[in-house]
Amino acid sequence: MLRRHARTACTALAAAGMALAGLQAGTAAAAPDGHDPHRAPTARTAAQTLGADSAQPELLDAMRRDLGLTRSQAVSRLANEAEAGATAARLRQGIGGAFAGAWVDGAEAATLTVATTRAADAAAIRATGARARVVTHSLTALEGAKQRLDRSAGADAPVRYVDVRANVLVVEETRAGAGARLVRSTGVPSELVRVVRTAEAPRPLYDIRGGDAYYMGGGGRCSVGFAVTRGTTQGFATAGHCGRAGTTTSGFNQVAQGSFQASTFPGNDMAWVAANTNWTSTPYVKGSGGANVQVTGSVLQPVGSSVCRSGSTTGWHCGTVQQHNTSVTYPEGTISGVTRTTVCAEPGDSGGSYISGSQAQGVTSGGSGNCSSGGTTFFQPLNPLLQNYGLTLKTTGTDPGPGPGEPEPGGTWAAGKVYAAGDTVTYGGASYRCLQGHQAQAGWQPPNVPALWQRL
């Protein structure tokens, strides 16, 4: 683990040229919105829904530095990633059990590839503007095999994930033969697995705007993930390995701040801290040079997408998403469901914010390497954390909802609830299926955001 003890120390975007432009026309088809049966709502593109059209300069600058992009490329990339995520989500619903993953490629993330085990799906995939790849193993089969490995894995095979590009389950081993022994002992077919030798074992990054430092009462420093509320209580999400329920905290200025209300580690790496009345949650992450980066939602982005991290040791760094639903075995135990990235981190960055455009992704768990030579890090996705503890992400620029005299149409959809892909709701007399996991907020009613909801 990378523990830091207390004593140590994207400007509004122009419309991006889209390789997936054909999708946007399809997402604009709207159903009645419940206010006026003769009027269709103004459906937002995925880029508009996720705030990719209003990324701040600090985010774009960091993407230029860490991803080697021009400003124009960074602008285009954020828009393309948003649209790709929506396309992949809709295709997954249509493909069903044959779905084998999706990813974006290119400096501007202009190419979306969707994999399937069924050749008959290729035409439908290409019709959206995406590339089709027919592979052998479904995502469900590979993830099922990973779950079997997770139950028996030890620290000598610390990382397991599905590489959707290679259509294989990867096991990283720190000791020769550990991966093969794990595969044999669990009965997982060897053709599903590729073993990779690694010299470094990941460990949590020990040591109220996202990315700011906070200090634990028993010693040590971590980083704020994202500001949250629970009812009238202010607070923040962070990593579970940073503290246990009851652990007191002080802020970046060493002023008494609050205490951990709940914490899970290992298994997951999630926690939240309730702040005292001297602290107020703000919808920002600390960006390059200390500038505020806005948080507008929590839609998880696809493999290959850009992602930036803020932490109290190394500040603001960017990279890309490598794999979702990764399992990592630390010396303290296994955590599952984390996302693997190319972003660097160091001790004290634990708990800090991962953000893609303006969409909150998760909190820093652990990793290997550093910000001088580079490294691999893992984040705990935010939406499960919000759902588990009944928290509401603090966001900016949310729609206030219906005006006076305009009651919300009836249905089961509710702002503040965390929805997972595949969940179904009713709204305004129609039924909808969730395409991308997110925490609902005012202005994101299903008819208005086809990037997130599909009418049934």
Separation CA 386–CA 229 (nearest Å) = 10
Measured in degrees and rounded to the nearest 5, phi and psi for residue 256 equal -50, 135
Beta bridge partners of 17: none
Measured in degrees and rounded to the nearest 5, phi and psi for residue 111 equal -115, 120
Of 54, 121, 138, 241, the catalytic one is 241
Q: Does residue 142 contact residue 110 with C-beta atoms inside 8 Å?
A: no
Q: Is 241 a catalytic residue?
A: yes
Of 269, 281, 310, 324, the catalytic one is 269
Measured in degrees and rounded to the nearest 5, phi and psi for residue 316 equal -110, 120
The conformation of residue 54, written as its DSSP 8-state character, comes to G
CA angle 43, 419, 237 (to 5 degrees): 110
Query: Would you tell me how many other CB atoms lie within 10 Å of the CB of residue 112?
Result: 28
Range list of β-strands (E), 143-192? 159-163, 168-173
Q: What does each C-alpha distance from 166 to 104, 115, 147, 169 come to in angstroms?
A: 14, 10, 19, 9
Full 3-state SS string of 409-450? CCECCCCCCEECCCCEEEECCEEEEECCCEECCCCCCHHHCC
The conformation of residue 172, written as its DSSP 8-state character, comes to E
The conformation of residue 303, written as its DSSP 8-state character, comes to B
Can you tell me whether residue 304 is helix, strand or coil? coil
Of 350, 353, 358, 368, the catalytic one is 350
Beta bridge partners of 425: 432
Q: The tokens of 45 are what?
A: 């593109």
Separation CA 86–CA 270 (nearest Å) = 27
**Residue 15 identity:** A
Q: Is 306 a catalytic residue?
A: no
Expressed in percent and rounded to 5, the helix, strand and coil fractions of the chain are 25, 35, 45
Measured in degrees and rounded to the nearest 5, phi and psi for residue 292 equal -80, 130
Measured in degrees and rounded to the nearest 5, phi and psi for residue 376 equal -120, 135
Q: Is 35 a catalytic residue?
A: no
Q: Does residue 311 contact residue 287 with C-beta atoms inside 8 Å?
A: no
Catalytic residue numbers, as ranges: 241, 269, 350
